[in-house]
């Protein structure tokens, strides 16, 4: 009789070791699985089989918010932790120091884990939380022992904060974190230690080190740059100019120089610019004429007024996917309308996915016309690709149900709608009835924040439509009547709604204070419903 091969066994019939071996043949799958496991599970997974150890440890050490665990991988007789005093923070603090000089045999465990770190992101200690700092002398000894060493050879992202450079004395040695694989750098200038008026600043020394050791930065972000010492700005500009692979630049709260703008306009891979201030004297440098800014698709800026904003956007003829503009001057609503009208023939009208419009001061005229604001935004309805819209201005209190219906019909792919306003004497013109078109036409909507006049409506208008994606409703300056009926209306419109986040400030009083109490009652009803169904 011929020997027939045995019948194949399904996974449930295979012995455990066979299943482990089958899974282990594809290390990429194992690594993906590790990405979804929490810390305690990863630690157990690493001990399950030798083949799982490397991917588990890689996931455990991939992102670190504190360097102390790594330094504690040095032999126990090398280091110690002891109390110290930190006057600038109200926390219990310790400091890690070395007891003896470093030796060649001290490095294996440190190296074993350091090469797994891909991201360093410091966090501020919370009140009464015990934290530990690494003494500047420890970092200095590392640098002295191996002055040309790359301690983190695979580090790709770093967020500079006081968690890494708590002591001014350690700043010159901050380069021990850097290496050629670093591609993303985020620096909060206000978070750096001060050096006084004499000598180089922390920011200046950091920029010099980054320029020398990190030639492959793709994403570079500076926050609170207006707080930087003037003497540090040449080093900041020189660092930016040295990066030939730059794809994203954020210089929040800063005005780039003319020379820097000229350089940036020629970078072929730059796709994101996040500035805040474009003075009228620099407007001519923001143009796509002669092939400048060839790949730009995300643009964030602040202009003096909407007329200047319109001129900048008109000169930047690129198919933007994301656009965020803020103005400071007091202007009539018609000025905002002129800006929106400038998009009518712009390439971005067919590509825009995210739009943020922040108008700090818009006046409606005397007497105010409630249709001015909806009319000023009418051109946006031609942007059929829009998925996320944020509108921030007291004047947007005049947006109404008719406008919201137009928005729902114009943007069927809408996922997030945010409308923020200031406390007003009149109730919002958007009602629960106005949400019906959004529920029926925008099935992908997950985020909704707006002022609302909450009056119960006839649910037959829904025609059976529901939104199951919205789980939180964010409201501000919203009037409510009959909270019980409003609750029942909301759970029909949004069956998975778990709570109301009501924006309430100390400036709110009277009717707004009463509204807060009423919305809090609705929130408690929603939470009770979710708890009961669970």
198 pLDDT higher than 60: no
Whole-number pLDDT of residue 512: 57
Whole-number pLDDT of residue 307: 92
3-state SS, 132-143, equals EEECHHHHHHHH
488 pLDDT higher than 90: yes
Whole-number pLDDT of residue 128: 46
- Mean pLDDT value across residues 42-59: 81
> Which residues partner with 53 through β-bridges?
none
Crossing angle for the helix pair 50-61 and 16-24, to the nearest 10 degrees: 50
Tokens of 258: 């003319």
Q: What pLDDT digit, counting tens, does each position of 441-487 carry?
A: 999 999 999 999 998 888 888 889 999 999 999 998 888 888 899 99
Q: In whole angstroms, what is the distance from residue 73 CA to residue 288 CA?
A: 52
- DSSP of 138-178: HHHHHHHHSTT--S-TT--EEEE-TTT--SGGGGGGGGGG-
169 pLDDT higher than 60: no
The proportion of the chain whose per-residue pLDDT surpasses 90, expressed as a percent, equals 47
Q: What is the rounded average pLDDT for all residues in the chain?
A: 84
Q: Taking the model in full, what pTM does it have?
A: 0.83
Listed range (30-34, 293-297, 463-467) with the worst mean pLDDT: 30-34
Rounded to a whole number of angstroms, the distance between the first and last alpha carbons of the chain is 61
- Mean pLDDT value across residues 162-185: 71
User: Residue 96 in 3-state DSSP?
Assistant: strand
Whole-number pLDDT of residue 6: 47
Sequence-separated (6 or more) residues with CB below 8 Å from residue 118:
62, 63, 154, 155, 156, 157
Go through 40-76 and write b for each residue having 16 or more CB atoms within 10 A of its CB, e for each that does not. Answer: eebeebbeebeebeebbbbbbbeebebbbebbbbbee
**Cis ω before 87 (30° cut-off from 0):** no
């Amino acid at each position: 009789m011929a020997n027939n091969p045995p019948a194949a066994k399904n996974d449930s019939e295979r012995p455990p070791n066979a299943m482990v071996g089958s899974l282990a043949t594809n290390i990429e799958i194992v690594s993906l699985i590790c990405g979804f496991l929490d810390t305690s599970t990863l630690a157990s997974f690493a001990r399950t089989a030798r083949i799982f150890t490397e991917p588990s440890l890689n996931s455990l050490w991939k992102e670190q918010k504190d360097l102390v665990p790594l330094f504690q991988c040095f032999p126990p007789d090398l280091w110690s932790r002891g109390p110290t005093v930190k006057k600038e923070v109200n926390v219990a603090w310790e400091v890690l120091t070395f007891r003896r000089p470093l030796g060649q045999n001290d490095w294996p465990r440190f190296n074993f884990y350091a090469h797994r770190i891909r991201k360093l992101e410091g966090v501020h200690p919370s009140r009464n939380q015990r934290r530990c700092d690494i003494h500047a002398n420890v970092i200095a000894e590392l640098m002295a022992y191996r002055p040309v060493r790359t301690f983190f050879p695979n580090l790709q992202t770093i967020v500079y904060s006081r968690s890494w450079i708590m002591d001014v004395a350690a700043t010159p040695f901050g380069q021990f974190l850097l290496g050629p694989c670093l591609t993303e750098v985020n620096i909060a200038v206000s978070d750096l230690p001060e050096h006084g008026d004499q000598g180089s600043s922390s920011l200046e020394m950091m920029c010099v080190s980054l320029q020398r050791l990190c030639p492959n930065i793709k994403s570079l972000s500076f926050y609170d740059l207006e707080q930087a010492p003037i003497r540090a700005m040449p080093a900041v500009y020189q660092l930016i100019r040295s990066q030939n692979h730059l794809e994203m630049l954020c210089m929040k709260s800063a005005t780039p120089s003319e020379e820097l703008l000229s350089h940036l306009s020629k970078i072929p891979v730059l796709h994101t610019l996040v500035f805040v201030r474009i003075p009228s004297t620099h407007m001519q440098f923001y143009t796509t004429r002669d092939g400048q800014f060839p790949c730009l698709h995300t643009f964030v800026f602040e202009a003096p007024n909407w007329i200047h904003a319109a001129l900048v956007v008109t000169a930047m003829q690129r198919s933007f996917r994301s656009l965020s503009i803020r103005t400071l001057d007091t202007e009539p609503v018609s000025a905002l309308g002129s800006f929106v009208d400038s998009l009518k023939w712009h390439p971005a009208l067919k590509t825009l996915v995210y739009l943020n419009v922040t108008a700090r001061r818009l006046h409606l005229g005397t007497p105010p016309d409630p249709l001015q604001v909806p009319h000023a935004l009418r051109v946006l309805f031609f942007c059929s690709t829009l998925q996320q819209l944020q509108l921030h201005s007291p004047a947007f209190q005049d947006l109404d149900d008719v406008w919201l219906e137009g928005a729902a019909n114009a943007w069927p792919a809408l996922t997030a709608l945010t409308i923020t306003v200031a406390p007003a004497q009149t109730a919002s013109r958007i009602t629960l009835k106005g949400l019906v078109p959004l529920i029926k036409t925008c099935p992908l909507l997950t985020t909704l924040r707006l002022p609302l006049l909450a009056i119960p409506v006839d649910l037959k208008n829904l025609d059976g439509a529901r939104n199951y994606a919205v789980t939180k409703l964010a409201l501000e300056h919203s009037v409510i009547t009959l909270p019980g009926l409003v609750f029942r209306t909301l759970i029909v419109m949004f069956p998975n709604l778990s709570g109301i986040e009501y924006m309430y400030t100390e400036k709110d009083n009277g009717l707004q204070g009463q509204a807060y109490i009423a919305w809090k009652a609705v929130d408690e009803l929603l939470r009770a419903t979710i708890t009961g169904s669970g």
